[in-house]
Amino acid sequence: MNILTPDSISTLKGKEVFILEDDLFLTKRLVAHLEDAGAEVTSCTCLEEARNALQSYSFDFALMDLNLPDGESLELLREQKFPANTLVILMTAEGGIQSAVEAMRLGAADYLTKPFDVQEISLLFLKSEKQRKNQRLIQHNLEKRRQKTANLYFEGSFADDLAQLSKITEVDFRLGSDLPPILIDGPTGSGKSTYARWIHDHGPRQDSPFVAINCSAIPDNLVESELFGHEKGAFTDAKSARIGLFEAADQGTLFLDEIASLSSKAQTKLLLAIESKIIRRVGGTKEIKTDVRIIGAANQDLRRMITEGSFREDLFHRLDLLRIKIPPLSSRGKDISGLAKHLLIHLAHKYKLQTPAIATGAEKSLISNPWTGNTRELIHALERSLILTEPEKPLQFGFKEHEPPRSISADWLNENFSFPQKGFDLENEIIRLIQMAISQSDGNISEAARLLGVPRDYIRYRLKKKF
C-alpha cells in the first residue's frame, strides 16, 4: 500500500535525492518509492562513489546507510561533504543508536532503525523538512529581535545603563548556568522589557527561548496555570494538559513584567519555583525540574509594598540580587535630544521616509517636557510628528497642546500662590524642583546639585525614592 500524501509528494517533487546503500534490493525499493513521489534519485553503494557524486552534484535530501563496504557514512558528515541545505537521514541497524546520535550531532536531521517500511521515508522527509523550516523561522525571529536590541541608544547618561547591563552579562558568561534572578526597577514606559531582552540577547542563553508575560494582564485564578501549566481536568476548562511558561522558557529567560501585581498566593508559588527550580502543574503531582533565568520588572516601590504587606519580603530579596535602576526620562537632560534623533532614524526607516531634522527650538522643548510616559511617550510623540509633518520639513512638537495648562495662580513659584484647600504635595514639588535644576544644567547632576545647594547624593536619593 502506497502511503504517499499530497504534502509528501509536494515536498519531494522535482527534488534531488541521494541514496548511499550497498543493499541493492533495498535501494531498488527506495528508488521506486521516491520516484513515484516525483523525485530525481542518484544512488551509490560505497564511500568512494559517494565522494565523487557529492563533488559533482548538490542534493536536497540524502539517505545513507551507516555501515558500508569501505567504511562508515559518518565520514562524509565529518568531512562536511554535504552543504548546509541538504537534509540528511541516517539508516542504521538495531543497536546503532550511538552512531545515530553522533550523526545528528554532525548535522543529520534524523535517523531510521532497520528494518523499516520504505513508505516511511517520504513522511520522514516531510517531517524533517517542516522541522527545518520551523527552526529557520525561529532563527529569523531571533535575528530580528537581536537587531532591535543591538540598535539601542547608549550615549551620554545612557552609557551608565549599558555599564549595568554589561556587568550582568559578564557574570552570566562566567557562571554559564544557574543564572541569578534580576530585578529591573523603573517607571512605566522607561524600557524595562527592552533591557530584559538586551540581557538575554547578549548573554549565554541568547539561542534559547525568551518568554515575556505581563503579570497584571492575567486574572488571579489563571496565574498558576499560566506560569506552571496544568493537567487535563485540573479545573473546569482544562480539557487537555498544557505546559506553563516555566517549562516553555526552560534553558532560557522568563521575563515577569509588573511583578508587583501578582497575588500573595502567586508570589509564594513563584518564590518556591525560583528557590527549588522545581514546579508542579496545577492538578499534577509530578515534579518537573526547570532551569529558567528569571527577570522581574516593577514600576512600583516594592519596599513600600513590603511595608504595606502587599509584597513578600523574601521574594523581593530573592529577586533583588542583581538590580537595574532605570531613571525617569525627564532626568536625562540634553541626552533626551540625542535619544530622539536616534529613534527618528529607525522610525523614518519604518515609514520609508528620509530622516527629518528637528526644528530650531524644538530640541529645547524635548528636554524641558516632563515625559510622564517616559521613552514610550517620546516614541509616540516622535512617530506622531513624523506622520503629520510634511516631507523634508523639520519636525515641530506641540506638547503644550496635549497638556492642560498650569494655572499661574496655582503655581507656588508665583508670588500670588496660596495653598489649596485639598492640601499640598511637598514631595512632588521637591521632585519638580530637582527636575527643573537637572533640565537647566543639561542633565549634569553635579551642576543641578550646586544650583539647589544640596549634595548630588541627595538628588539621587530623592529620585530613587520617588520612582
Burial class (CB in 10 A: 0-12, 13-18, 19+), 351: exposed
Instruction: Tell me whether residue 366 is in a domain.
Output: yes
Instruction: Tell me whether residue 43 is in a domain.
Output: yes
DSSP H/E element including 16 = strand 16-20
**Same domain, yes or no, for 166 and 299?**
yes
**Same domain, yes or no, for 207 and 260?**
yes
Which amino acid is it at 61? F
- Grid cell at residue 132: 527545518
Positions of E strands within 217-320: 253-257, 278-279, 288-289, 293-298
What confidence score (pLDDT) does residue 274 get?
94
Q: Which of 351, 382, 403 is the last residue of a domain?
A: 403
Instruction: Tell me whether residue 151 is in a domain.
Output: no
**Same domain, yes or no, for 283 and 362?**
no
**Same domain, yes or no, for 396 and 449?**
no
- Grid cell at residue 32: 521506486
Q: Which of 382, 403, 424 is the last residue of a domain?
A: 403
**Same domain, yes or no, for 23 and 57?**
yes
Q: How far apart are CA 153 and CA 93, in angstroms?
A: 56
Instruction: Tell me whether residue 344 is in a domain.
Output: yes
What confidence score (pLDDT) does residue 404 get?
43
Q: Which of 360, 381, 403 is the last residue of a domain?
A: 403
What confidence score (pLDDT) does residue 445 get?
80
**Same domain, yes or no, for 349 and 445?**
no
Instruction: Tell me whether residue 144 is in a domain.
Output: no
Domain count, the chain: 4
**Same domain, yes or no, for 170 and 69?**
no
What confidence score (pLDDT) does residue 467 get?
56
What confidence score (pLDDT) does residue 172 get?
94
What confidence score (pLDDT) does residue 280 get?
92
**Same domain, yes or no, for 53 and 165?**
no
**Same domain, yes or no, for 169 and 317?**
yes
CATH (domain of 43)? 3.40.50.2300
**Same domain, yes or no, for 362 and 310?**
no
CATH (domain of 259)? 3.40.50.300
Q: How far apart are CA 414 and CA 315, in angstroms?
A: 46
**Same domain, yes or no, for 161 and 295?**
yes
Instruction: Tell me whether residue 118 is in a domain.
Output: yes
Helices (H), 257-413: 264-276, 302-308, 313-319, 335-350, 362-368, 374-388
Instruction: Tell me whether residue 465 is in a domain.
Output: yes
Instruction: Tell me whether residue 42 is in a domain.
Output: yes
CATH (domain of 387)? 1.10.8.60
The tens-digit pLDDT sequence of the chain (467 residues) is 445 455 555 677 888 999 999 999 999 999 998 898 888 999 999 999 999 999 888 898 999 999 899 999 999 999 999 988 888 999 888 667 788 888 888 988 888 888 888 888 888 888 887 877 776 666 666 676 666 676 789 999 999 999 999 999 999 999 988 899 999 999 999 999 999 999 999 999 998 889 999 998 888 888 999 999 988 888 888 888 889 999 999 999 999 999 999 999 999 999 999 999 999 999 988 999 999 999 999 988 899 899 989 999 999 999 998 999 999 999 998 899 999 999 999 899 888 888 988 887 788 888 888 898 899 999 999 998 888 888 778 888 765 433 444 444 445 555 556 667 677 778 878 888 888 888 777 677 878 888 888 888 888 788 777 65
What confidence score (pLDDT) does residue 435 get?
80
**Same domain, yes or no, for 201 and 295?**
yes
Domain with 37 in it: 6-133
Q: What residues have CB less than 8 Å from 416, skipping those under 6 apart?
A: 408, 409
